[in-house]
Structure 1
């Protein structure tokens, strides 16, 4: 229990945690668990029913697409993580509807303006990420509760470490950040990077007009 939120300990949940331990690092381990707890807390406070196991697995896989083991050469890291979770859940006979929820939660966790309007598990992963990374709706969780979560899963200079960690996950394919907030990471940290521009795509399309 962390801040009165139970950490799932089913065989499926423990297996996912083992994958994060194997292929991730302490930064991703602690961040992913804070995302789960903060998402669950926001769901509980809002009276939203959700599946804790699916929410937990979504949180564990949500950044695994940044790791070398799961990173593809040409897909967004969010999709890599979603595909990894899908494969894991399929191997364990999880129903397709549940797999779809987890896939969407991971693939959309950086998609502002959409994820928060989808199913509870999808919306709460988005909210948990937003809370931990950017402090969105910061005062919605009391300070003493935040302290319990951070004591269990330390931030350890998270603000200064997470942006370089993001870049390490997709610096070999920065073009996949087009149209996404992660393009800001490349602009800040990747020398010579120039983000694609939607207006240029329209004005320089191959249409003869």
Structure 2
């Protein structure tokens, strides 16, 4: 991945990855679309900095679909949003012709992005999506990246009020699903904390 060419960085690596971006754009508002694309960009930069090898197509698809569970069309009133998003990812992958094991992998990566941590040795894609989304939501780890790169990414993919909208979405998830990872995130104030961090880049 070339982090010096932002247009190339966010470009889908395969036709299947491009289809995942199309699904995202059909279901989500522009702020959530940009969050997913920024998460992919952060993941690539983190992987480069840490020397992590990963499956680009798998991670791109997971990054595009990971938050579909908070959108009105895919929100589940009983299942955690990452489980709902993982189910969408698995169905998408099967429809794209991926074998069962690979379809299951995209579900795993999406579900694991809400865990407090994911071991990169066991699941590099799950680890990268977890740390990249944590960075984009909470600002955690942003100081480890070049500040100019962070500004360039946020200019190319502006936040568009994402922090406020996502805070509202997570609060709703937490209220309906009190044992979920969303409830943990909401109770810790992580989204609001991230909004204050990212305000400097708006």
How does the TM-score come out when normalised to structure 1?
0.79
* Cα gap change, 1:184 to 1:17, in 2 (>3 Å): closer
In angstroms, what is the RMSD of aligned CA positions? 2.3
Offset of 1:181 from its aligned partner? 4.5
Choose the corresponding residue for 2:148, options 125, 144, 163: 144
Please say if 1:7 is aligned against 2:14. no
* Contact 1:72 1:80 survives alignment (8 Å): yes
After the TM superposition, which segments of 4 or more aligned residues of structure 1 sit over 3 Å from their partners?
Answer: 113-118
Matches for 1:27-106 after TM superposition, within 5 Å: 27-106=31-110
3-state SS of paired residue (1:182): helix
Q: Name the residue aligned to 1:162.
A: 166
* Cα gap change, 1:175 to 1:183, in 2 (>3 Å): farther
Name the stretch that deviates more: 76-85 or 132-141: 132-141
- Stretches of structure 2 that go unaligned for 5 or more consecutive residues are 190-202
Offset of 1:160 from its aligned partner? 2.7
Choose the corresponding residue for 1:125, options 122, 129, 136: 129
- Stretches of structure 1 that go unaligned for 5 or more consecutive residues are 189-209
* Contact 2:75 2:84 survives alignment (8 Å): yes
Offset of 1:26 from its aligned partner? 0.9
Please say if 1:180 is aligned against 2:181. yes
Larger Rg: 1
Q: How many residues align?
A: 185
* Contact 1:75 1:176 survives alignment (8 Å): yes
How does the TM-score come out when normalised to structure 2?
0.81
Pick the structure with more helix per residue.
2
